[in-house]
Amino acid sequence: MKKNKEKRNLFSIEILGIVLGLLWIAPFYLMLVNAFKTKREIFGGVLGLPESLAFENFVQAFIDLEFLKSLFNSVLITGLSILVIILFSSMAGYALARNKSKLSGIIFFIFVAAMLIPFQSVMIPLVSIFGQANMLNAGGLIFMYLGFGCSLSIFLYHGAMTGVSKTMDEAAIIDGANRFQLFWYIIFPLLKPISVTVGILNVIWIWNDYLLPSLVLSEANATIPLKMFYFFGQYTKQWHLALAGLTIAIIPVIIGYFFAQKQIIKGVSEGAVK
C-alpha cells in the first residue's frame, strides 16, 4: 500500500521532470525548427513545423560566418590559452603549496584577491597598454587569458596539492631528480584530475568569451562569438539566416558536451564547491 503510494509519487515527479526538461530545451527546438524555414514561412508563423527543409539557409550562414575559419580561430585561441594556463598554473600552485614561507602566502593571497576585480575595471587600461605595445592580436589575447585565468586555476591546484604527499618530493630528490623533472614526471601526472577540472572551467569561459576578443581581435581573426555578433548585425531582420547561423555556432559545443558530459558536470561541480 505504502510502496504503491511512493511509486505513484515518483511517477508524478518523473512527469514533472520531463515537462520541465522539454520546457528547458524549447528555445533550442524553436531555433532549429525555424532555421529550416524560408523567410516567408517564418513570417507566416514560428510555431509550426517547416513545409520543406530549407538547407540553403545553412549554406548561406556557413559561408557568411566563414565558419571553418572562425572555428579554427576559436580552437586555436582556446586550445593554446588552456595549455598555457594548465602548464603555468600547475607549476605555480605546486611552488606555492610546497614553499611555506610568509612571502609565498602573500603571493597566493594576491592571486586569490585578484579574482575580486571585474573585467570592466581593468579593461580600458589593458587595451591601452597592449595597444601601445602593438600586442592587440591573438598572441596578446592568449597572454591576457593566462592573466585572467591563472587565479582560479592556481587556487584549485594549490588545494589539490594538499593531497599529494611530500614524501614523493623527497624520494625523487634523493634519486637525483631536479625540481623540473620531479614536477613533470611525478607531481603533474598526479594532478591530472584537477587539470581536467581546470581545463573544463577555462574552456567554457574562453570559448564563449565575446567582449575581450571584440576589443583585441580584428574581424579577419574573429572567434565564433565575435563573428556571430557581426553576422547577426547583418541579418537582424532575416531570422531564417540568423537562426541557421546560431545553430551552426552551437553545434561544436553540443558535440563536445555529448562526448564529455560526465567530466564537464563533475568539473563544474568541483570548481563551484571549492
Partner 1 sequence: MQNRSIWFWLFLTPVILGLGIVVVIPFIYGFIFSFTDWNGITATKFLGFEHYINLFQEDEFMDSIWFTVKFAVITVILLNFFGLGLALLVTRNIKTNNLLRTVFFMPNLIGGLILGFIWQFIFVSVFDDIGTLFGIENLQGWLSTTGTGFWGLVILTAWQMAGYIMIIYIAYLENIPKDLIEAAKIDGANGFQRFKNITFPLVAPAFTVSMFLTLSMAFKIYDQNLSLTNGGPFNSTQMVAMEIVRTAFSDHQMAYAQAKAVIFFFIVAVIALTQVYYNKKREVEM
Range 108-167, binding partner 1 (CB under 8 A)? 110-111, 114, 116-129, 132, 143-144, 146-148, 150-151, 154
What secondary structure does DSSP assign to 233-261, as a single string? HHTTT-HHHHHHHHHHHHHHHHHHHHHHH
Min separation Cβ 262 and partner 1, Å: 9
Report how far residue 151's alpha carbon sits from residue 2's, in angstroms, rounded to the nearest whole number.
Answer: 53
User: Which residues from 211-270 bind partner 1, rule CB under 8 A?
Assistant: 211, 215, 225, 228-229, 232, 239, 242-243, 246, 249-250, 253, 256-257, 261, 264-265, 268-269
For residue 83, state whether it binds partner 1 (rule: CB under 8 A). Answer: no
Q: Single out the residue of 8, 30, 56, 165 in contact with partner 1 (rule: CB under 8 A).
A: 30
Question: Residues touching partner 1: how many (CB under 8 A)?
Answer: 88
Instruction: Mark the segment that binds partner 1 (CB under 8 A) among 59-67, 90-98, 159-167, 189-197.
Output: 90-98
Please state the closest distance from residue 130 (CB atom) to partner 1, in A: 9
CB of 37 to partner 1, least distance (A): 11
Within 40-79, the residues that bind partner 1 by CB under 8 A are 42, 45-47
Give backbone dihedrals phi and psi of 48, rounded to 5 degrees, phi first.
Answer: -80, 170
- As given in the structure block, the three cell numbers for residue 96 are 606555492
Q: Which of residues 175-214 bind partner 1 (CB under 8 A)?
A: 178-180, 183, 204, 207-211
Task: For 90-116, give one letter per residue: b (16+ CB within 10 A) or e.
Answer: bbbbbbbbeeeeeeeeebbeebeeeee
**CA torsion angle for 66, 67, 73, 77 (degrees, to 10)?**
150
Please state, as a whole number, how many other Cβ atoms lie within 10 Å of the Cβ of residue 227: 25
The residue among 165 and 181 lying less far from partner 1, judged by its C-beta, is 181
Among 218, 217, 88, residue whose Cα is nearest residue 148? 88
Q: What Å distances lie between residue 247 and 6, 27, 40, 190, 252, CA to CA?
A: 41, 11, 19, 39, 10
Min separation Cβ 207 and partner 1, Å:
7
If one asks whether residue 17 binds partner 1 (CB under 8 A), the answer comes out as yes
